[in-house]
Structure 1
Amino acid sequence: MATLEEIEARLVAVEQQLLLVRQDAAAARVLAGAADRDVSEFRQALNAHTKTLNALRETQLEHQRETRDGFAKVHQGMNEITGLLTQLIEQDRK
């Protein structure tokens, strides 16, 4: 059977280990809190980037529609010019 001194020594060792475990737990809580803040900040940045990209997409789609409309008007204008030139050439032949 263990002597009183051995039991006391073991108790002191356990108390020292418990102190280290508590310190480690406190450090782990601090790190977890920092990681949580980092993730939150990353999420906010990601949401902001997503909103920016969505706005850019809408702008690009609008510009694409405007460009198509512009080219359609140019094509119509070219057809009118071609028609007028054709009329002039036919009048010139007569």
Structure 2
Amino acid sequence: MPDEDLSERVARLERQVADLRARSADAGAARVLAAGADRDVAEVRAELRAHTGTLNALREDQVDLREEMRTGFASANASLGRIIELLDRDSQ
């Protein structure tokens, strides 16, 4: 009887060791996947920062262009107003 008990205990222990080895392998694979995901997230964040920088630069250019256009149109409007004044004066 003690031999049967011992063989059952050894068999149970061997199953537990095999289960622990499988879990260890799974944990190692999970660590590898997590490290890969971390690198992917870091790359995406870097790309997002680059795109955000590009969009901010584009916005600044558009704001500058809008101001230049307003100044240019105001100048053209003033010049046209002066021309109209001169034409009106000469036509009288």
- Output the TM-score relative to the length of structure 2: 0.95
1:75 and 1:21 mapped to 2: Cα distance?
A: 79
Match of 1:30 in 2: 32
1:77 and 1:57 mapped to 2: Cα distance?
A: 30
**% same residue:** 46
**Structure 1 segments (4+ residues) deviating >2 Å:** none
| Gapped regions of structure 2 (runs ≥ 5) | none
Cα distance, 1:34 vs structure 2: 0.2
Indicate yes or no: 2:73 matched with 1:62: no
- Compute the RMSD of aligned alpha carbons: 1.3
| Gapped regions of structure 1 (runs ≥ 5) | none
Match of 2:41 in 1: 39
Cα distance, 1:88 vs structure 2: 1.2
- Output the TM-score relative to the length of structure 1: 0.93
- Which residue identity lines up with residue 20 of structure 2 in the other structure? L
Indicate yes or no: 2:23 matched with 1:15: no
2:44 and 2:25 mapped to 1: Cα distance?
A: 29
2:7 and 2:81 mapped to 1: Cα distance?
A: 109
Indicate yes or no: 2:19 matched with 1:5: no
Number of equivalent positions: 90
